[in-house]
Amino acid sequence: MSSASDLEATRAHEEPLILERHGIDYIPPDERHGKPNTLLTFWAASNVQILAISVGALAIVFGLSLPWAIFAIVVGNAAGGLYMALHSVQGPRLGLPQMMQSRAQFGMYGTALPNLIVVLMYIGYFTSSAILGGLAVASLLHVTTTEGIIIINAFVLLITVFGYDMFHAYNRVVTFLSTGAFLAILIKLLTVLPAHLPAGDNSAGNILLAISVFVAWQVTWAPYVSDYSRYMPENTSSAKVFTYTYVGSVAGASLVMVIGAIAAVVAKASVDANAPTVVAIIGTLIAIKASSNFIHDLTNFLIFTLYLLVPWTAINLTDYYLVQRGKYDIPELFKVHGKYGTYNWFALVVYVAAVGVQFPFMNNEWIVGSAATAMGGADIAWIVGFVFAGIVYYIGARAGIAVSARLGREDAEVRTKTSV
């Protein structure tokens, strides 16, 4: 009879051509495998993509000069990357998809609220990536844009069928190919960059808006980041999981977004370069900006996604790191009438309240809050929402109001009585 360690040894390597067997269920110890260094290439490849070019260009569209745009890109990604990397650590510890673990905070059915928001976010990103990918495939294969979108989506679906191991194996290859291609574009762009850069409108409002957009890019990975670390052994180093995830995601996104900002400057200066790569990049940016208000819609999508996701990430991280300290009853998360309940009204109220307290600090197309106006247009709503949700949830947990905290206290009392 094989021991657990023998079974783990048989799964100590990736099997990218084996169809994915798991969905939202728990990954048992005998199927855990992989090393945290694979997260570096996984998240680098996930960020080194065409959509990130457009996101990076937003800083220039907002009116920032190139140096301040680069500053906002680096700071925003570095700050947002902290959230997603902290969530990544949960994967090996719990062996669950990220949103499944949220049942411990919101309840079996209560988690439908953050799940709905996350699904809408998925659709938004999938649509954006499909359009840009479809345009690229159409240009490369000389087919229609519709056909290009169908081809790119069929390819994505194929990889999805093979699942976790295929994702990691594919992204290792893509990391080097994409990084090489984007570095070549960067070098070519630098040769046609104007000698005298525009001064720009580097107001605090514009800088904070840009930083918020780049924070949002990273935070939107949070609802599923642990899905790609949950197959790793439970004793995998948390520090390594965090570091490899953080560096891969922040460095990958920052590189491509800086390229997008530089390309936007070149496009605004109407530089007539004879380099096909530069012409293609500039042409793509202009076409995107001109078609269906893509840049405008992308900005609103990212900002409002940030408003809605930050309270969830604050509640989840507070519960995991400060309240439960990573200890959950996994089987109970799959029971309709389990000990985590159907609805955790306290968590839901904190979530809704955290969204509400952001309104005075918002500054966007539809909402300009009084606090944002008083601060010269600076939008710090997501910071307020995160701090509010984290503090209020923690206080409630300490008081035994939050379901997971109350159950954790009851379990501790049972263990104490049993030991006595």
Distance CA 11, CA 31 (A): 6
pLDDT of residue 365: 81
In this predicted structure, the answer to whether residue 420 has a pLDDT above a threshold of 60 is no
pLDDT: is 13 or 257 the higher one?
A: 257
Lowest mean pLDDT among 26-40, 62-76, 82-96: 26-40
For 245-267, write each residue's pLDDT tens digit: 999 999 999 999 999 999 888 87
Q: Within a 13 Å sphere around the CA of 221, how many CA atoms are in the beta-carbon half?
A: 29
Give the single-character DSSP code of 368.
B
**pTM listed for this prediction:** 0.84
Mean pLDDT computed over 391-420: 63
Q: What is the pLDDT of residues 314-353, one digit of tens each?
A: 999 999 999 998 899 999 999 888 888 888 999 999 999 9
Distance between CA atoms of residues 372 and 212, nearest Å: 14
User: Looking at the predicted structure, is the pLDDT value of residue 4 above 60?
Assistant: no
Least confident of 97-106, 126-135, 178-187, 228-237: 126-135
- The amino acid that residue 124 corresponds to is G
> The tokens of 320 are what?
């995991």
Q: Is 363 in a helix, a strand, or coil?
A: strand
Hey, how many other C-beta atoms are within 10 angstroms of the C-beta on 35? 14
Q: What is the mean pLDDT of residues 177-191?
A: 89
